[in-house]
Amino acid sequence: MTEQLLKDKRSICETCKFVLRIGLFFDGTGNNAYNVSTRLAGGELPGIDNMPLTSDSYKSDYTNIWKLHRLYPSSHSQKNVEDETYIYGNYYIEGIGTDTGNIDSPNGQISGSGDYGVLAKSEKGAPQAWEFVSAYASYNITRIEVDVFGFSRGAAAARHYAHVLNLLQAIYGPYYKTARPMGYNRTKTKQNMEGEKRRVMYLKVRGDKSLYSVFHEIPTKLQFIGLFDTVPSISSPRHFDFSPQNNDHGSVLLHLPVGIAERKVVHLTAINERRKNFALKSILSSPVGCEVPEVKTQGNHIEECLYGSHSDIGGGYLSGGTEVDLGTNPSAVERAIDEGRIGSVDDPFCETTDAYYSAQVKECTYEGENGRITQKSVNDEIFEATMQRDYVDGALSQIALHKMHAYAVSSNVPLIPIQHEDEVGTLTEQPANPIQGLTDIPDELKLIDEKTHNNAPLSVEEQKLLNRKYIHNSDKDSLGHAPTKSGKRVIFAN
């Protein structure tokens, strides 16, 4: 191409209008799509089998965050819309407590802090957006639009990112650390900041970290925030916060003011989650109760309670048999039976077994349609109870996926359609769904999906089906997974 043609091409480009549309997808605690792919490809799992919390991310399934990431336009793809050209950025940030290709971090998964904690993952997403914008420094950018999605502690990371972005009204990145013999010099360097519209603006955020923003002269606005069951659950022993059960989240900024997103802020939450370490952080000043299906709004914030436990909403459960330690509380067995977790139950079969410290052990088995509950007691005092379910399907999370997808598409988020019958994509000539088999609704759930989509009540039989085959029992008698004493979830306001 001649020099004159290059000049002509440049002069034409200077008259073009470009919009940068960025999607950031923060996965949940112990969720890492790259590590799931390693397992599915038959790769070696680096975790130590007898050491807990080191390979969980390899043994789960893809979450709704990864699926939405795959349905968003690929990075650097372009689309002409009227007289503007959209350029897309699409970035997936692996879940809290995980490291791609390496063992998981027990500290990150337990505390939500440290090098693989909530702040670390939020700060990993920020530079990716910054670098994407940097690639188009010479373009005539009229505005920057941002969509943010998150699940579990990843939802907390997404909220922190959105909160800071809203403060700056610009794409931002953290300071650079410059190595010195005696440690780190925490100075902020104006690296690659040249360009007509590139200025540095500093903002002090909680903690000891300052942030700089770029492109702050170009309008930057959050468009859509989509959250699945925000569970911050952050503890910081270094700051004498030893409990993940409170509303103290340290330097993580979770508040989302009404109007922070131009379109919507949507929060899908779990009715059947009741672990005391899994308190919900609402997006409303007056939160949902979340004991039954419920939709509540405040401005353009929408919070909706769906059937399922934590990962039945955000995804990640593999289908298959499960075994849960119900502990020694008699109400745990009664509740599991009443909730229909193993379906209809026969009268218990009881027998007395070998002596236990000079006492007779009474073992009762409750046989159900989809498993059994075994309870052992001495002198009517339960010392062991387990629930085995023959099969629990992981597909319930597809309903929450379809629900979030519908909210996003109605808010002009550029997602590929997933064939919901009353759903219309925002872009013409959409490519085919690249993960069709991972977004399909099982036939027996299709009517339930439609009812959920339209906020219609379920029949008794539909509720029984969910209880028996699809809703997981996430709470159990083990460290970090014990239920609240009341059996009701703790919910904190926005």
Q: What is the pTM of this model?
A: 0.89
Q: Which is higher by pLDDT, 476 or 426?
A: 476
189/132: higher pLDDT: 132
pLDDT band at 203 (very low <50, low <70, confident <90, very high): low
262 and 351 fall within a common domain: no
* Residues 77, 35 share a domain: yes
Q: What local confidence, expressed as pLDDT, does residue 477 receive?
A: 75
Q: Please determine, for residue 194, whether its predicted confidence score (pLDDT) is greater than 60.
A: no
Q: Is residue 345 part of a domain?
A: yes
Contact yes or no for 267/152 (Cβ under 8 A)? no
Higher pLDDT, 162 or 432: 162
User: What average pLDDT does this structure show over 37-46?
Assistant: 85
- 210 versus 345: which is more confidently predicted? 345
3-state SS assignment for residue 415: coil
- What is the number of domains present in the chain? 2
Q: Which of 365, 391, 417 is the last residue of a domain?
A: 391
pLDDT in tens, 292-320: 999 999 999 999 999 999 999 999 999 99
Domain co-membership, 359 together with 402: no
Identify which of 439, 436, 440, 444 has the alpha carbon closest to the alpha carbon of residue 470. Answer: 444
Structure tokens at 328: 């020694």
Do both 157 and 71 map to the same domain?
yes
**Is the pLDDT higher at 79 or at 113?**
79
- Is residue 3 one of the residues assigned to a domain? no
* Model pLDDT, residue 106: 84
**More reliable by pLDDT, 383 or 32:** 32
Same domain flag for 251 and 270:
yes
Tell me if 490 is assigned to some domain: no
Per-residue pLDDT at 213 = 67
Sign of the Cα torsion 447, 402, 233, 287 reads negative
Residue 401 lies in a domain: yes
Q: 219 is in which domain, residue-wise? A: 16-318+393-470
81: confidence class by pLDDT, cuts 50, 70, 90: confident
Q: Which range has the worst mean pLDDT, 37-46, 175-184, 201-210?
A: 175-184
pLDDT at 460 over 60: yes
Task: Give mean pLDDT, residues 89-111.
Answer: 91
Q: How far apart are CA 379 and CA 413, in angstroms?
A: 61
- 450 & 422 share domain: yes
What pLDDT does 236 receive?
A: 59
Q: Does residue 49 belong to any structural domain of this protein? A: yes
Q: Is the pLDDT at 188 greater than 90, yes or no?
A: no
Instruction: Please give the residue that has the higher pLDDT: either 330 or 204.
Output: 330
> CB 29: neighbour CB atoms within 10 A?
31
Predicted confidence band of residue 30 (pLDDT cuts 50, 70, 90) = very high
What the block records as the tokens of 24 is 């950031």
| In-domain check, residue 142 | yes
Q: Do the bridges between strand 301-306 and strand 294-298 make them parallel or antiparallel, or are there none, so unpaired?
A: antiparallel
pLDDT value at 490 more than 80: yes
What pLDDT score does 355 carry? Answer: 66
- Same-domain status, 48 and 122: yes
441 shares a domain with 332: no
Give the pLDDT confidence of 366-390 residue by residue, as tens digits.
999 999 999 999 888 888 999 999 9
Percent of the chain with pLDDT over 70: 80
Whether 299 and 311 share a structural domain: yes
Q: Which DSSP string do the residues of 194-229 spell out, in sequence order?
A: -STT---EEEE-SSS-EEEEE-TTS-EEEEEEEEE-
Q: Is residue 285 part of a domain?
A: yes
Residues above pLDDT 90, as percent of the chain: 59
Q: Is 5 inside a domain boundary? A: no
Q: Please state which of the ranges 91-100, 183-192, 221-230 shows the lowest mean pLDDT.
A: 183-192
Q: Cβ neighbours of residue 362 under 8 Å, at least 6 residues apart?
A: 350, 351, 352, 353, 376, 377, 378
Asked whether residue 8 carries a pLDDT value surpassing 80, the answer given is no
Do 122 and 42 share a structural domain? yes
- The verdict on 164 and 282 lying in the same domain is yes
273 with 286: CB under 8 angstroms?
A: no
Main-chain dihedrals φ then ψ at residue 17, nearest 5 degrees: -115, 130
Domain boundary among 332, 359, 391: 391
Residues 382, 403 within the same domain: no
